[in-house]
Structure 1
Amino acid sequence: MAAVPHALTIASVEAKTLRTLIVKDYGIILRFRKGLIVVDRKSGDKCKVPLSAVDQILLLTGGILVSSKLMRIASRNGIEIVILDSRGNPCARLVPPYHTRTVMTKRLQYEAYNNEKGVELAKAFVMGKILNQSGLLKYLARNRSNIEVKERIYRDAIEVESFVELVREVNASRIESVRMKLMGIEAEAAKVYWRCIASILPSELNFPGRVQESNDVFNKLLNYGYGVLKSYVWRAILLAGLDPYAGLLHADRSGRPSLVLDLMEEFRQPVVDRTLIALTSTNLKLVLNSLEEDGRIKKEVRARIVTEIVKRMNTNVRYEMGKVPLERAVLRQARRIARYLRGQENYRPYVERW
């Protein structure tokens, strides 16, 4: 196989992990020929990637052409082609048609909106997020040499964790009657968490705390990272036979993948927050110079974030009685939702073992 040009990243070619082909530059043409994905550039550079080495193709920019033959072959082989916008959100995806064949699971999912199962799932999503926020803070505290700072971070972690008990006390027969209460508890825990993160990050970032529409660089990187995470969770939801738009914790809204957002809550800290905080520690200069003059994230920084998140997704984590790649844990959680809806097992949120 020819050397991969700098416009491409092939993230993870290990067995049993999600192998992702990341395309980041304009003017690239992707074709299929004799079992290979052929990558052509206007400059004449070319490389060939075995179809069997790829599970997902991520397109990070415009000006990329994908042949209809490659799209057909990819669909037949269960390979997703996902287009991300400048904020990291999946704006289009090509998925195999068999992802939407299930019926019974979806019916039970819709029914959960009006019964106790919907409430229990929503509570689990919130508890998972809060426990992972607390866990990440404890993890960050362990790496601090200053005893006073270490103790302060640990106190914040304990305070965040205390909100779990408030979630457990919530009881109702329909999610509609307690959604705002659960979201309120989640918001209060998040205030403590992000206040602590702001105190940990380098002062040069001027991070004001988590504000989705803020123009500061770290909030913009978080937005992009969460968009990439959304693509992974969306894929898992589809593979589990669930409807991505019928959520529980997040209310229905036209075009909003509410169930994707629900399950994302369990993975924001293990996948995105941890990755970006580490990036600020190892390459602060890159982070500080991430934005174009118009406020958009630079193309090479977007590619770096995607690459780091893909690496994180392919990292083995402890799950149940063994270890699996984090990407596999996302899929197993989606399937756990489906089994819970079918009455086959209880649902437990994913909590990273930091």
Structure 2
Amino acid sequence: MRKMLNTLYVTQSDSYLAKDGENVVVSLPDGKRAFPIHNLEGIVCFGYPGASPQLMALCAERGVGLSFVSEYGKFLCRVTGRTHGNVLLRKRQYQLAEDAQESARLAKSFIMGKLLNCRNVLHRFKRDHPERCTREYDDGCRLFQTSMESLYRCQPDVDTIRGIEGMAAKTYFSLFDHLILADKEVFHFTGRNKYPPTDEVNALLSFIYVLLSHDVASALETVGLDPQVGFLHQDRPGRTSLALDLMEELRPYLADRLALSMLNTKILKSSDFVKKENGAVLLHPDSIKTVLTCWQKRKKEILTHPILDEKLEIGLLPYAQSLLLARYIRGDIGEYPAFVAK
């Protein structure tokens, strides 16, 4: 298994990134900081910082993904270099993406992994806080289980799978407010919204999803797959559809659980968010650093991968699943095994 390198997060919109030898130099109003390129696997810029063409070329040459994200957490663009890996693997990926049955088969695996991990989040809460599980919560869990059973029984059809996933996600997020235990007056969740998020919980979820999206796209490129050609999400110019596919199974375990932990342990408070005149709610610039610290700490935790039976850092999960997906596409294994947390 590969070694996990660092990701550089640039959160100040008045920053400028440049190249100095083998270093990435971030210029700020109060000075400069340099980061050796060989220690990085990715750079994520929030807001609208600038970057020199020389820095972009260095990142492309070293295989360091450089992503730009709006202040609302919306993906803007990604700078990458030459495509790595076996061209035969990518050709096979494109063939499967054009095959409706094969696309549906993979889509079903991604979404079944997602629903199983969502169910684990719901059951974990019920195990730890049985006194807080109302009748409404139990009814929602049963409805969610019904969606899982529908997915298991359905014929391979991408549109059907999308419909089941949509209903399951609606049920899951209708229960999400029950999982938030602290500062309910502030952190009250009524449903998923984005671009821009209009409440604190959605702002936090969107931000962490962006971080995960960057890591997944980088992992797919590392194993030689094309992040833009997916099986569940429709292809659009500039959209990393395959990264969105693979993210589905990882969101509950990597992102949702982290968000809940930060809220319930009061790492974040109401003062960590700001509300814009247009109703958008964003993380305060100083609080972004807090979230990034927790994200990096989470990624360094160790787990035993249920399929590979190997201990690895949680931050390497996107790479491990990308590796398994590449093996399936090559025909080395009979099916793609989605990650399901134990």
TM-score normalised by structure 1 residue count: 0.82
Is the Cα contact below 8 Å between 1:20 and 1:58 reproduced in 2? yes
Q: Which amino acid aligns with 1:279?
A: M
C-alpha displacement at 1:277, in angstroms?
0.9
Partners of 1:221 and 1:296 in 2: CA distance: 9
Q: Which amino acid aligns with 2:37?
A: L
The aligned length equals 330
Pairing 1:206–2:188 present: yes
SS in 2 for 1:266: helix
Partners of 2:194 and 2:10 in 1: CA distance: 26
SS in 2 for 1:185: helix
Equivalent positions of 1:4-83 (< 5 A) are: 16-43=3-30, 45-64=31-50, 66-83=51-68
C-alpha displacement at 1:351, in angstroms?
0.9
Partners of 1:256 and 1:71 in 2: CA distance: 20
**Map of 2:233 onto structure 1:** 250
Pairing 1:104–2:88 present: yes
Answer with 199-208 or 67-76: which moved more: 67-76
**Closer, same or farther in 2 for the Cα pair 1:148/1:24, shift >3 Å?**
closer
SS in 1 for 2:48: coil
Q: Which amino acid aligns with 2:115?
A: I
Cα displacement string for residues 236-280 of structure 1 (whole angstroms, at most 9, x for unaligned residues): 222232232322222334443322211110111112111111111
Is the Cα contact below 8 Å between 1:23 and 1:57 reproduced in 2? yes
Partners of 1:252 and 1:75 in 2: CA distance: 24
Q: In angstroms, what is the RMSD of aligned CA positions? A: 2.8
Pairing 1:348–2:327 present: no
- List runs of 5+ in structure 1 lacking aligned partners: 1-14, 173-177
**Closer, same or farther in 2 for the Cα pair 1:239/1:35, shift >3 Å?**
closer
Partners of 1:163 and 1:83 in 2: CA distance: 36
TM-score normalised by structure 2 residue count: 0.84
Q: Which amino acid aligns with 1:117?
A: E
Deviating above 6 A after TM superposition, structure 1's stretches of 4 or more consecutive aligned residues are none
C-alpha displacement at 1:161, in angstroms?
4.2
Partners of 2:248 and 2:179 in 1: CA distance: 22
Of 157, 165, 181, the match for 1:186: 165
Partners of 2:74 and 2:300 in 1: CA distance: 20
Of 277, 296, 302, the match for 2:260: 277
Cα displacement string for residues 22-79 of structure 1 (whole angstroms, at most 9, x for unaligned residues): 2222443444445443444332x34333333222222223244x34443333332222
C-alpha displacement at 1:152, in angstroms?
7.7
C-alpha displacement at 1:349, in angstroms?
0.4
**Closer, same or farther in 2 for the Cα pair 1:139/1:312, shift >3 Å?**
same
C-alpha displacement at 1:229, in angstroms?
1.6
Partners of 1:103 and 1:131 in 2: CA distance: 33
How high is the sequence identity, in percent, across the aligned residues? 26
